[in-house]
Structure 1
Amino acid sequence: MKKWVCSTTERVPQHTCEEINKKIRNCTVCRIHFYLDADEDDLTDRIQELDEEWDTERVLETNAAMLITTTSLVGYLKTKCPCFLFTGAVGYCLLQHAVQGWCPSIPVIRRSGIRTAKEIQNEKTVMKLLRGDFMEGIGDPDEMLCMAEK
């Protein structure tokens, strides 16, 4: 049974069809496989690409902001326009996503292959492992945190 309020990092995958989650994971595994024999420069380039990849939250927020701005503008320009009801619906969907990790646009976003921040971070960690970032001696907690933040 799915919990109504899920953990922040698992809420989107828990409300995504398992088939889509597997497809996204398999694409990630294929990309990692491609980089297994890559040199340090290629791995660094891939890590930079991952830093710029949009996650589900960013896509959802952008779409919602565009819809709210557009309907608010139309509502301002036209009196007695019911488009503010649409603005309210978008706000409700954002609230539902914030609490549950699901809203009507999430299945579409996920089917498009958009990953969560955690899924992107997991690939980034593997790229760093392949590059040898974590082969340095472990010592000071501050140093370890700096390594993780690279």
Structure 2
Amino acid sequence: MAAKIEALPSTQSKVAKATPDHINEKIERETEARINTFKRKDPEAIKQRISELEQEWDTERVLEATMASFALSSSLLALTVNKKWAYFTGAVSVFMLQHALQGWCPPLSMIRRQGVRTISEINLEKEALKDLLEDEHYPI
């Protein structure tokens, strides 16, 4: 009997699917509130916000930087202090592989709880702000 193989989640949706609904909803509400705030702002403020959004770190970047820092630190500790630190390096590698395949790993929950958004969530706000500029016939 052939085993049923589950498809891996798409790269664009894996984080949202692995995040509890209440966290996704909180991030969505905060994004909507920011968009509504900018409905009353002048075009320059909207353009400034779009510029800020282009610099915002998404979940993938935060997770990669955090995990790489942990792996580097624990590798150095394994070489200089105690070889048992290599287990931590191994755990970090397992978490990164788990995230790449399943879209979830333990540090991701903490990152999402801090309100770090996916690139799709950031782009959603950016596109809504661009629509505001177009609606007002302001050049972007």
Secondary structure in 1 matching 2:106:
coil
Could you tell me which of 102, 105, 114 is aligned with 1:103?
105
Determine the C-alpha separation between the residues in 2 that align with 1:51 and 1:40: 17
CA contact (8 A) 1:4 1:100 kept: no
Secondary structure in 2 matching 1:90:
helix
Q: Which residue of structure 1 lines up, in the alignment, with residue 56 of structure 2? A: 53
Per-residue CA distance 1:96-120 (angstroms, 9 max, x = gap): 1011110001111111111000000
Normalising by structure 2, report the TM-score. 0.89
Q: Which residue of structure 1 lines up, in the alignment, with residue 96 of structure 2? A: 94
Matched, 1:70 2:70: no
Determine the C-alpha separation between the residues in 2 that align with 1:4 and 1:65: 27
Determine the C-alpha separation between the residues in 2 that align with 1:77 and 1:110: 33
Determine the C-alpha separation between the residues in 2 that align with 1:20 and 1:124: 20
Kindly provide the amino acid, as one letter, of the partner of residue 87 in structure 2: L
Determine the C-alpha separation between the residues in 2 that align with 1:103 and 1:78: 27
After superposition, the Cα gap between the structure-2 partners of 1:82 and 1:4, relative to the gap in structure 1 and judged at 3 Å, is: farther
Per-residue CA distance 1:100-141 (angstroms, 9 max, x = gap): 1100011111111110000001100011111118x7xxxxxx
Q: Which residue of structure 2 lines up, in the alignment, with residue 122 of structure 1? A: 124
Tell me the number of residue pairs that the alignment of Structure 1 and Structure 2 aligns.
Answer: 133
Per-residue CA distance 1:13-54 (angstroms, 9 max, x = gap): 101100000000000000000001222111110001101111
Q: Which residue of structure 1 lines up, in the alignment, with residue 87 of structure 2? A: 85
Which aligned segments of 4 or more residues in structure 1 are displaced greater than 3 angstroms?
Answer: none
Q: Which residue of structure 1 lines up, in the alignment, with residue 8 of structure 2? A: 5
Matched, 1:27 2:30: yes
Kindly provide the amino acid, as one letter, of the partner of residue 73 in structure 2: T
Per-residue CA distance 1:33-85 (angstroms, 9 max, x = gap): 00012221111100011011111011111110110111111111135x11111
**Aligned-residue identity in percent:** 42
Q: Which residue of structure 2 lines up, in the alignment, with residue 143 of structure 1? A: none
Kindly provide the amino acid, as one letter, of the partner of residue 90 in structure 1: V
Cα-Cα RMSD: 1.8
Q: Which region of structure 1 is more displaced relative to structure 2, 3-12 or 48-57? A: 3-12
Normalising by structure 1, report the TM-score. 0.83
Segments of structure 1 that go 5 or more residues without pairing to the other structure are 136-149
Segments of structure 2 that go 5 or more residues without pairing to the other structure are 1-5
CA contact (8 A) 1:32 1:127 kept: yes
